[in-house]
């Protein structure tokens, strides 16, 4: 009896010791992980993840999931530039990039390290620009530069375009005119904060509100969230809905970006080609964030055996200078715009190219192509982007995206 209870006591003591020994480091690590986990679950109570909405909004979810918005803190270029930003002199304001790329940081500014860790992880479980990040916006203050959203995380109400939203068990719904107005988009798309010297902010869209399209009543949503008919929530009756793939560089909208009108004049030894680039976009093309965003017009003249006999290009974008007086690919360190060749809203740009008339051929081909240029920047940065991508150098960011192409065969008359 006594021996038994003694043994039991020893065993219990040993067991406690072993457990305690194991527990100390485990408990510490656990507490840390738990704290981060708690942070994230607190954030996700206020801003439910897209997967929560997917349950009832399958169609919207699938559309959004293919859009660039779903990858706003995943993309290799974002992660590499976030790093560059955090280690730059302007990097003290750690939340800056997240204010648009994962805007719920605005309500959780003390948890910014969690956002950074998540973005760096490459496969974040934290959302970037997802459902709640737009649908909990109650107001946009356009007197601020950049404009600021006001979130409603208290009332568990989801704001949207419908007056007559069908009731459901997950949330209250409220109609808000803001959802059919450009203002909603402007808080992230109008301008980005910039370093001193460049004025208060770096304007991305230009005089978009003076464009013909906007004056005729078009909002960002008209083109970038085109109207369609479908189920707004699973199993509900079909109605007018809004496409959530956010067509831009990806999608058919691109074909509506510009027209090329090309004329060729041969004067003996000399040929002159005039390309009229008509932008059909009611805002700058390209929008100028990130700083390397540019659109390129390539002219290619192919003579005998389709060999290129002349090639030239024009680049539409902005070139920035940093505080050391050097060109920079990062707008967060820009203090000056050295050159601005972006196509202004609905602008027509006329380009002329002159070259010696190809001699040893009866005809030649004229090819003019307008495309979004691949990413550019210092070699170490590009290597970093490549390393961050699961596709490496095959990542689409290293490829141009064609907008429009013009081709014609021209006879060389003798
Ligand atoms: C909370 C900030 C935020 C709001 C609000 C917002 N966007 Fe965006 N948008 C982004 C970010 C960030 C990206 C870039 C995502 C990426 O590629 O990493 C983006 C990308 C896009 C793209 C793709 C651009 C391309 O290069 O192809 C389109 C189109 C777009 N947004 C349209 C809209 C429209 C229309 C609205 C308003 C209904 C809107 N956005 C509201 C942050 C926002
Ligand atoms: C005011 C809002 C805003 C801020 C602040 C902002 N971005 Fe963006 N960012 C956007 C929008 C909107 C787009 C999409 C632009 C487009 O496609 O034309 C974008 C696109 C990008 C892209 C290209 C798309 C991609 O994901 O590869 C990168 C890279 C990027 N941002 C990096 C940053 C970094 C780094 C910071 C912080 C220094 C930052 N951004 C701050 C709004 C913002
Ligand atoms: C960049 C902001 C933005 C994001 C991100 C976003 N929405 Fe929307 N959503 C809007 C806007 C703006 C409208 C109204 C468009 C209109 O009527 O022209 C809308 C409309 C809707 C509608 C009603 C129309 C329809 O298409 O069914 C539902 C439901 C909806 N959103 C759910 C979601 C869900 C779920 C997600 C995430 C998977 C999501 N939204 C992501 C901005 C956004
Ligand atoms: C239990 C199912 C369910 C879940 C979960 C759910 N919704 Fe809904 N939601 C609905 C139904 C049903 C409607 C009404 C659709 C209609 O009227 O056609 C709706 C309508 C909406 C609308 C339109 C509101 C308006 O008045 O314009 C938006 C926006 C929306 N939901 C966003 C979300 C978001 C964001 C989430 C995730 C945080 C979410 N929903 C989660 C069922 C759900
Ligand atoms: C009349 C249609 C139309 C309206 C209105 C419109 N856009 Fe665009 N937008 C386009 C077209 C066309 C393109 C060029 C093709 C492409 O990349 O989608 C474009 C390109 C873009 C791009 C990505 C390409 C780039 O240059 O980086 C973004 C981001 C964008 N628009 C945002 C907006 C925002 C924000 C608004 C509202 C202030 C808006 N657009 C209003 C037609 C429109």
The tens digit of pLDDT for each residue in 291-312 reads 999 999 999 999 999 999 999 9
Pick from 60, 102, 238 the residue to mutate for probing ligand 3's pocket: most ligand atoms within 8 Å of its CB.
60
Residue 186 pLDDT = 97
Q: pLDDT tens, 133-188?
A: 999 999 999 999 899 999 999 999 999 999 999 999 999 999 999 999 999 999 99
Q: pLDDT tens, 33-70?
A: 666 678 899 999 999 999 999 999 999 999 999 999 99
Q: If you measure from the C-alpha of residue 231 to the centroid of ligand 1, how many angstroms do you get, rounded to a whole number?
A: 23
Range 270-275 average pLDDT: 98
80 lines ligand 5 (CB under 6 A): no
Q: pLDDT tens, 149-160?
A: 999 999 999 999
Q: Is the pLDDT of residue 10 over 90?
A: no
pTM of the predicted model, to two decimals?
A: 0.93
Q: Is the pLDDT of residue 245 over 80?
A: yes
Q: Is the pLDDT of residue 19 over 80?
A: no
Residue 199 pLDDT = 65
Residue 38 pLDDT = 81
Range 337-366 average pLDDT: 96
Residue 90 pLDDT = 84
Residue 9 pLDDT = 52
Residue 123 pLDDT = 87
Q: pLDDT tens, 248-259?
A: 999 999 999 999
Orientation of helix 76-86 relative to helix 379-388, angle to 10°? 130
120 lines ligand 4 (CB under 6 A): no
Q: Are 171 and 66 in contact (CB under 8 A)?
A: no
Domains defined for the chain, CATH in brackets = 53-72+129-242 (no CATH), 252-411 (2.60.40.10)
Q: Is the pLDDT of residue 29 over 50?
A: no
Which residue minimizes the CA distance to atom 6 of ligand 2?
97
Any idea which ligand is nearest the CA of 71? 1
162 lines ligand 4 (CB under 6 A): yes
Q: Is the pLDDT of residue 108 over 60?
A: yes
Beta bridge partners of 320: 328, 337
Long-range contacts of 303-312 (CB under 8 A, 24+ apart): 303/358, 303/360, 303/361, 303/364, 304/358, 304/360, 304/361, 306/365, 309/355, 309/358, 309/364, 310/353, 310/355, 310/356, 310/358, 312/353, 312/355
């Amino acid at each position: 009896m006594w021996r038994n209870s003694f043994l039991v006591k020893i065993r219990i003591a040993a067991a406690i010791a072993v457990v305690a020994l194991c527990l100390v480091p485990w408990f510490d690590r656990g507490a840390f992980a738990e704290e981060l986990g708690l942070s994230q679950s607190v954030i996700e109570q206020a801003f439910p993840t897209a997967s929560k909405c997917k349950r009832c909004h399958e169609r919207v979810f699938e559309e959004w999931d293919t859009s660039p918005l779903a990858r706003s803190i995943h993309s290799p270029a974002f992660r590499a530039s976030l790093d560059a930003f955090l280690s730059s002199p302007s990097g003290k304001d750690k939340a800056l990039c997240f204010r648009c790329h994962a805007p719920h940081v605005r309500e959780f500014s003390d948890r910014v390290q969690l956002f950074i860790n998540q973005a760096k992880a490459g496969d974040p479980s934290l959302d970037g620009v997802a459902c709640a990040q737009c649908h909990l916006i109650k107001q946009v203050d356009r007197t601020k530069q950049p404009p600021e959203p006001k979130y409603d995380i208290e009332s568990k109400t989801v704001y949207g375009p419908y007056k007559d939203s069908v009731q459901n068990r997950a949330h209250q719904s409220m109609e808000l005119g803001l959802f059919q107005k450009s203002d909603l988009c402007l808080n992230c798309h109008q301008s980005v904060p910039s370093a001193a010297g460049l004025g208060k902010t770096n304007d991305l869209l230009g005089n978009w509100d003076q464009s013909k399209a906007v004056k005729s009543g078009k909002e960002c949503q008209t083109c970038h969230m085109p109207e369609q008919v479908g189920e707004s929530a699973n199993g509900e009756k079909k109605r007018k809905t809004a496409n959530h793939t956010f067509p831009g560089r990806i999608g058919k909208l691109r074909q509506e970006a510009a027209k090329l009108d090309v004329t060729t004049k041969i004067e003996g030894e000399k040929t002159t080609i005039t390309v009229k680039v008509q932008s059909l976009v009611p805002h700058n093309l390209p929008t100028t964030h990130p700083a390397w965003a540019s659109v390129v017009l390539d002219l290619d003249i192919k003579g005998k055996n389709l060999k290129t006999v002349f090639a030239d290009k024009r680049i539409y974008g902005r070139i920035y200078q940093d505080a050391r007086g050097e060109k920079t690919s990062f707008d967060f360190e820009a203090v000056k715009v050295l050159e601005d060749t972006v196509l202004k809203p609905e602008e027509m740009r006329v380009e002329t190219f002159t070259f010696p008339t190809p001699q040893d051929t009866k005809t030649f081909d004229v090819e003019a192509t307008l495309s979004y240029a691949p990413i550019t920047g210092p070699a170490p940065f590009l290597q970093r982007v490549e390393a961050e991508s699961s596709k490496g150098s095959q990542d689409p960011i290293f490829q141009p995206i064609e907008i429009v192409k013009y081709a014609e065969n021209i006879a060389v008359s003798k």
